[in-house]
Structure 1
Amino acid sequence: MAEIQGNATALCNAEGEITGASESARDLTARQNDEKNLAERESFLSGILDSIQDEISVLDKELTIVRVNSALKRRFSGGGPLVGRKCVEVYHCGTEFCEDCPSRITLRSGKVSSKIFSETKNGAVIWLELVTFPIFDPKRTLVTGVIALARDITERKRAEEESLRRRAAVEKLNGSLVELARNEKIYGGDAGVAFRAITEASARAMAVGRVSIWFYTGGNSGIVCKDMYEARRGTHSEGMILYARDYPAYFSALEEEYCLCADDALGDPRTSEFSETYLRPLGITSMLDVPIIVADKTIGLVCHEHTGTPRKWTVEEQSYATAVAGFASMSLEILARKRAEEGVRKLNDELEQKVGERTRQLLSAQEELIRKEKLAILGQLSGSVGHELRNPLGVMNNAVFYLKMVLSDPPGNVREYLDIIKNEIDNSERIIADLLDFARTKKPQIRTMTVREIVEAGLDRCPIPENVAVEFAIPEDIPPLRADPLQMGQVFQNLFVNAVQAMPGGGSLRVGAKIKPGATGLEPDFIEISAADTGEGILEENLGKIFQPLFTTKAKGIGLGLVVCRNLTELNGGKIRVESRPGEGTVFTVSLPAAGTGMGESQ
């Protein structure tokens, strides 16, 4: 049925009198239908907006709020009407728009814009994501407004932050495992050092107050702590023992469960036994224990103890603790292997040492036997050989003397050859003298004499070349000594000859002396006389052989000179020693009893 609206209008003449009426009628059905449809669409749109849980507002081009949904009304329910107010006034309680305001950006660009920001609500921080969409005119040429959608993303933000935190924690745990894998202390074979490195690294990575390593006692009746690291103090300790009879639930859990994860150690029935004696006094609230397994047998455990607010152990932390226990197992296996290797090496060394020692003994015995045979033959021949050689040498020496006397001015090469003959005769005489002295040493004729007398006796028998400088360092007040002048003269003659021969290109021969007091009042004083050259030196491997009979490194000589020196020095109550560095020189030191000390007085 149609609805008609009628209107009547009076008609008047010039004098204002009503002369008639005009009537009109209009069908209102279409208008009412339009209004009804509009109301229905408005109700439908409001229903859609109100059903959306995100906060929605519609802004005009002046950024004035023209429409909001129920979610936005609820958020600002105590602040009065929202429509008709600037968005910055409602959202930020101000009048100045920020530069990165998404609504302004959308108005200028005609593009979707967004921003994430936080605000405090009832003392708690909430995170919102604001997305703005442009509203165009019918021709889509002008932006006439903005639809702003604000979504609470607090839970998502917390989840992201938790994910980042856990990722950082996992990276930290993995980094700690890499650090342990590269730590040489783990592989050094010292379990104590390895345990300290493991507990320190684990405490840092897990951010716990204490990390400890325990091992079962005999029969699994208890566990003993081998290392406990307290992060706050930075100290290590050991020796604590926990017995199964005192904590039956805990020990039962260790046997039945691979990983004992007690987030609330005080309330967990597996660990609450420790509450009064261990947990509360130390402030421990959470425990994470994993076994140490060697050769498929559980021999101990690694314990992580957290202080402060109870902590929920993550899967990653449990996996890390298991890996840490693996490093403890590895260090023990390495220790066992190194001990086995050390045992084998020690046995090999002992065997090699015994074989080497036995070989040296056999070689030494063989050398000694050969040397004794040679010396025996040498002793038998020395007397007759010395007599047979000295006579012709005497004739040759006299002939050289005669030729030098009758040839008052011989040619240069004749004088040179005569000198060579003389030197060779002297060398031969010295070898024969060494041979005879070695074969039958006479009893020394001891008397008191000065150091200079004994040194000069040796120098008189040894011609010093012009390219060798002799220096004396003999104190004037040094006491006299007691010795046989002939025998000790021969000793120093041999030493000086050796020194000169060691310096074919020239050098320095330094003769010194000093007194060496006895260690106690009952021991005699000694005079130490040294002869130091700057020659070629003696190789280290030859130092132990130079006083052995028949050992020589010279082209000429039979290796008896230093043997004679040692024998004669010892006969006179003294000792002889040598020090040498190849390329730097040699020092021979002869120690003889000082006069008045009692030694040699009765000889």
Structure 2
Amino acid sequence: MSSSEESQYLAGLSKMVFFDIVPQQSSQAFLWSLFNSITDPIFVKDRQHSWMFVNDALCQFMGYERAELIGKSDYDFFCKTEADAFWERDEQIFTTGLSDEHEQLITDYQGETRIISTKKSLFSDEVGNSFLVGSIRFIGSKNKIETALLCQTVNKLEQEIHERQETEKRFRRHSNALQQLVQSEKLQHDDFQIAIQYVTEVASLGLDVERVSVWLYTEKGLGIQCIDLYERENNCHSHGFELSFCDFPRYFQALKEEQVIAVSDVHNDPRTWEFSASYTTPLGITSMLDARIWSKGQVIGVVCCEHLATQRQWTLEEESFIGSITDFVRLVIESDNRKIAEEALRQSEMQLRQQTQQLELALFELQRTQIQMLQSEKMSSLGQLVAGVAHEINNPVNFIYGNIAPAHDYIQNLLNLINLYQEYYPSPVPVIQSQIAAIDLDFLMADLLKLLSSIKIGAERIREIVLSLRNFSRLDEAEYKAVDIHEGIDSTLLILENRLKTKPNCLGIEIVKEYGNLPLIECYAGQLNQVFMNILTNAIDALEERDEQRTKQQIRQLPSVIQIRTEIINHNQIAIKISDNGLGIPENIKQRIFDPFFTTKPIGKGTGMGMSISYQIVTKNHYGTLECISSPYQGTTFVIIIPLKQQQLAN
């Protein structure tokens, strides 16, 4: 079904719901069931842009009940920027009557940014009222799509670098052969042909073009002859073609006036118009880079490089490269200056190596970005999972916690009633006395309130854990938020509490907090929590590794301690210092601690990306600094400095 047919079908169904079906309960129930069985969100709006109908899928996407959505507009649920975009497109449909289909980014009620495809169409009832019907289809999350595109880019660049490295090897092999020929006493005729063949292949490899040819002027001076033509696709050489000056006068005049002729589009450049019918068009040539061969004050030939299929903008480096190739051809022809020839070859090889190094650097940066995006996506997914679990746990815990107080009152009233019975009926019948003894009534009455108190403490503990999970997994990737940094640190410590507390074979790690009086800080809270988690986890690992080599007596004499200190250091910066009293970090390791993929942990225990990502989060995302201060046996301190307000730096 095409897009237009689908829109018409959707409009027809909506019209049936509102206008063409008699108000019979069975028919309406059938249509409601039909719409709610569709997994894509569907909605209908009136002329005032208010929702008149929404199916279950849209309710689930919005995170609201149907009754909360009906009669409301986009401005009641989305940010103003998104709502303005919806309103403008809807109004265009109402005004023109034309259907609309488009893709856009949208943030759902859980804070996840996703790409959706929306289809909308217009219909009217019998009395002329207009209604808009639309459907939504999810394409994917923004992070996942960006990550997939980045992976494709990395793979393509890796392939390009591999090809470039192979090209460089062939280039070096040919240039070495050329140097050997130049260093010989005199180039023989056969050697000359071989040298020119090497030249054309070197030029093809260095410039990444499909065809390279070397032409020399004929003895009579009336034309030009092809000494060698190299075709990279077929990996073959040919020669013997001749051209007359009379056939291409404008081009040969340009050769006398210009050292290099760079043509990005042969069909729109006056210098190559005369080639189109007989040469460039039949061969599929789109761009040309030619350089004249100059010897003893006159033009003696030309090196011609031809690019096929797509237009190409030649760079200054490429023009310089073809210039060095023509210098070498001249020297091969003259065969009287070996040092200059060798220098020309060396320059050409150096330029190719620089291009390869630039590609390798770009690949390294892309790979690091790819790892960071994958890690960010994992943390985002983990955050959504944690937030969802915390939300689901929070509801029953609140139910339990909210019922503890009335349960306490009810039980207290029952105990008071039992006390009254014991006071006024001290001698119950034997059956009751037997049951009192069986259940140990006195202990039960004394322990029941203690039991309720324990349940209350446990429920409060679960609420604290849920709150910490929600604080730690903040879904705030879209914008900076003003948050309490101390809440993020405390929630991270609570998650790590199992590793900090005393165990049968471990005395635990003491946490010392020295929190300053900080205001709310504008930051990506979830990302900073990730930094705290990475630094604290590394500190715990280091302290546990040291304690495994010490006795309990040694640990009691010098217990493991992690100190966390926060303070304002100037009018727009705060410092967060996380220190441990472990063995410290050697200087050679400290210098590489923020390098991607560097780790001192065994295989399977660390990826080497935690501190690298933390460094990027602090320095690039928050315009701050992250410093490691450590000496052997003197402990380690990580100092995080970030601004109070991010927009001051942005402006």
The TM-score with structure 1 as length reference comes to 0.31
Q: Greater CA radius of gyration, 1 or 2? A: 1
Structure that is richer in helix per residue: 2
State the structure with bigger RCO (CA 8 A, min sep 6), 1 or 2: 2
